[in-house]
């Protein structure tokens, strides 16, 4: 046989294995663990990155002081951060999530900083001319201008997080999709690896089409071109 | 019927770092309540800067600008119309009006849009409106913020003549109904001749008043020949440069 089924399992076999792993294996707890790690890291990185990005975008001094560190953060290999943190903090949940946050943070900062720099000063004049209070300016002028960049940061950041969470789970964790795939790897269990990957991709698709895209459509509906 | 405020402009000095001489130096101008004054002059003479000072947007100058005796920056916001419509693209026409003055109710904003001929377009986003319609929303927004004081910075610039006539009619109707104080910045004498009852011509740097015309006839009822005569008069004064 040209493609032995042990190395190249058929889609049907993989589908059946996904169901089996979900019902009788640890697929669901593993997915839950990975997703919760990704979610915590995502929220923390977005919050810190947005605040830092706004600060660097608005303040030249802050940008001069920290922009080199953003470049370092953008280019330092993810695995280095994970290994160093595992050595310093041990193979803990905290170390794993912190490693993911530190990897994603520079990307969010850079994107948000560019967003803040692209703010139209004409709208500042508008706010001043009509004496709009700060909170109102923030809600009606600043945030809508920032939103396309925040969404871009969320999407690119999320794709990065999915990948690095799995890598860090392989490197050192007690469960999760990455951990389980590393176990399958030790037994050359391709069917298990593909089944876990398929389930993971289904979750990513669900998030993209059920959460991100509707949210983007809602927030950026004003950008829709007249047909 | 409400009446517009009196404006007292006394600018001792206004400088910009990138200009070798002050833009304004010892500039004085008084504007009577409910008058419609056109500030005419070439680009860069300081017309828009004056408007920003009166609007309380630019406070970096020496001297004082008073709106009904109150320092401009502390006076109620003026109805400001910028050179571009400057609508917030993520808000509908209705919400653009309410954004700058939250006290404006939805029905008040709808009524304001109706007055500028935009009934039925309340829920349209700016990109769904034509350039002329966007200008009318900007005018409605300015009027809803302060129907007593309108500051118009080249509101007809880059519009074709048909749209200019349309906008002027809308403006004249609003002026006739509410009698606000209006300051119209323009470099086109024709706009001044159509809308204003006083034209102040600026020239030079620092800017000086080279002519100050007051017209007896009501702006909205001026025949074409009179408008052309006024426009020529203003253009003639504007052409005379200061030594």
Across residues A89-93, what is the average pLDDT? 91
Cis amide linkage into residue B206, ω under 30° from 0? yes
| B69 and B163 part of one domain | yes
For residues B43 and A157, what is the distance between their CA atoms, to the nearest angstrom? 47
Q: Does B83 touch chain A (CB under 8 A)?
A: no
Domain assignment of residue B83, yes or no = no
Residue A203 · residue A31 · CB < 8 Å: yes
Residues of chain B with pLDDT > 90, as a percent, come to 63
How confident is the model over A188-217, as a mean pLDDT? Answer: 92
Instruction: For residue A227, name the pLDDT band (cuts at 50, 70, 90).
Output: very low
CA-angle at B55, arms to B230 and B25, nearest 5°: 70
Determine the residue of chain A that is closest to B97 in CA distance: A130
Confidence band (pLDDT; 50, 70, 90) for B115? confident
**Domains: count for chain B:** 2
Is B235 a domain residue?
A: yes
Predicted confidence band of residue A3 (pLDDT cuts 50, 70, 90): low
Distance of residue B217 Cα from the nearest chain A Cα, in angstroms: 32
Q: How far is B216 from chain A (nearest CA, A)?
A: 32
How much is the average pLDDT of B221-234? 89
Q: Where are the domains of chain A?
A: 13-220
Give tens-digit pLDDT for B198-218.
999 999 889 999 999 998 888
Phi and psi of B11, rounded to 5°? Answer: -100, 115
Cβ-Cβ contacts under 8 Å between A and B: the total is 50
pLDDT exceeds cutoff 90 at A35: yes
Q: How distant is the Cα of B28 from the closest Cα of chain A, in angstroms? A: 22
The dihedral built from the CA positions of residue A150, A156, A159 and A163, taken in this order, carries a sign that is negative
Q: Does B103 touch chain A (CB under 8 A)?
A: no
Integer CA distances (angstroms), A93 to A27, A146, A173, A191, B122, in order = 19, 32, 8, 28, 52
Indicate if B162 and B132 belong to the same structural domain.
Answer: no
B131 to chain A, minimum CA–CA distance in Å?
15
Tell me which residue range forms the domain holding B136.
88-145
- In this complex, the residue of A128, A130, A144 whose CB is nearest that of residue B145 is A130
Place domain A13-220 in its CATH homologous superfamily: MetI-like (1.10.3720.10)
- Report yes or no for ipTM above 0.90: no
Confidence band, pLDDT 50/70/90 cuts, at residue A226: very low
> CATH number, domain at B53?
3.40.50.300
> For position B19, what pLDDT does the model report?
87
> Cβ of A187 under 8 Å from any chain B Cβ?
no
Q: Are residues B224 and B108 in the same domain?
A: no
Domain match, B57 and B112 both: no
Average pLDDT of A124-150? 93
Q: What is the pLDDT of residue A4?
A: 67
Same domain, B225 and B119: no
pLDDT for the residue numbered A29: 94
Nearest CA in chain B to A148: B90
- In this structure, is residue B1 part of a structural domain? no
A54 pLDDT band (50/70/90 cuts)? very high
By C-alpha distance, the chain B residue nearest A133 is B100
pLDDT at B243: 52
Please identify among residues 134-163 of chain A the ones whose CB lies closer than 8 Å to any CB of chain B: 136, 140-141, 144
Asked whether the beta carbons of B80 and B151 are under 8 A apart, the reply is yes
pLDDT band for A223, please (50, 70, 90 cuts).
confident
- Distance (Å, whole) CA B119 – CA B121: 6
């Amino acid at each position: 046989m040209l493609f032995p089924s042990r190395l190249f399992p058929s889609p049907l076999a993989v589908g059946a294995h996904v169901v089996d792993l979900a019902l009788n294996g640890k697929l669901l707890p593993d997915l839950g663990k990975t997703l919760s790690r990704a979610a915590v890291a995502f929220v923390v990185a977005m919050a810190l990155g947005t605040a830092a990005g706004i600060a660097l975008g608005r303040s030249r001094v802050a940008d001069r002081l920290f922009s080199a560190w953003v470049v370092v953060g953008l280019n330092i290999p993810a695995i280095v951060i994970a290994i160093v943190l595992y050595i310093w903090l041990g193979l803990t949940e905290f170390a794993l999530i912190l490693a993911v946050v530190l990897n994603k943070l520079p990307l969010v900062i850079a994107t948000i900083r560019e967003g803040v720099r692209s703010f139209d000063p004409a709208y500042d004049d508008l706010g001043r001319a009509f004496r709009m209070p700060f909170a109102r300016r923030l809600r009606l002028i600043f945030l809508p201008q920032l939103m396309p960049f925040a969404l871009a940061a969320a999407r690119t950041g999320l794709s990065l997080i999915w990948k690095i969470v799995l890598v860090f789970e392989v490197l050192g964790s007690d469960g999760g999709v990455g951990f389980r795939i590393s176990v399958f790897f030790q037994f050359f269990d391709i069917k298990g690896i593909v089944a876990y990957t398929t389930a993971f991709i289904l979750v990513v698709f669900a998030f993209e089409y059920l959460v991100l895209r509707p949210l983007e459509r809602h927030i950026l509906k004003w950008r829709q071109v007249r047909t | 019927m409400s009446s517009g405020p009196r404006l007292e402009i006394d600018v001792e000095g206004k400088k910009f770092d990138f200009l070798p001489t002050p833009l304004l130096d010892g500039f004085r101008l008084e504007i009577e309540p409910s008058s419609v004054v056109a500030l005419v002059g070439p680009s860069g003479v300081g017309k828009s800067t004056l408007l920003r000072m009166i609007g309380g947007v630019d406070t970096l100058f020496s001297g004082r600008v008073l709106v009904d005796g109150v320092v401009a920056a502390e006076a109620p916001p003026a109805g400001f119309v910028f050179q571009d419509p400057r609508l917030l693209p993520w808000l509908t026409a209705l919400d653009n009006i309410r954004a700058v003055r939250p006290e404006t109710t939805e029905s008040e904003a709808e009524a304001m849009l109706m007055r500028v001929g935009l009934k039925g377009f309340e829920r349209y986003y700016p990109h769904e409106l034509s350039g002329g319609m966007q200008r009318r929303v900007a005018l409605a927004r300015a009027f809803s913020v302060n129907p007593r004081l309108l500051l118009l910075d080249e509101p007809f610039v880059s519009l074709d003549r048909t749209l200019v006539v349309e906008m002027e009619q809308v403006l004249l109707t609003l002026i006739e109904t509410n009698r606000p104080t209006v300051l119209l910045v323009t470099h086109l004498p024709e706009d001044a001749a159509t809308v204003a009852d006083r034209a102040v011509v600026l020239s030079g740097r620092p800017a000086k008043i080279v002519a100050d015309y007051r017209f007896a006839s009501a702006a909205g009822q001026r025949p074409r020949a009179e408008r052309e005569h006024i426009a020529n008069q203003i253009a003639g004064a504007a052409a005379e440069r200061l030594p």
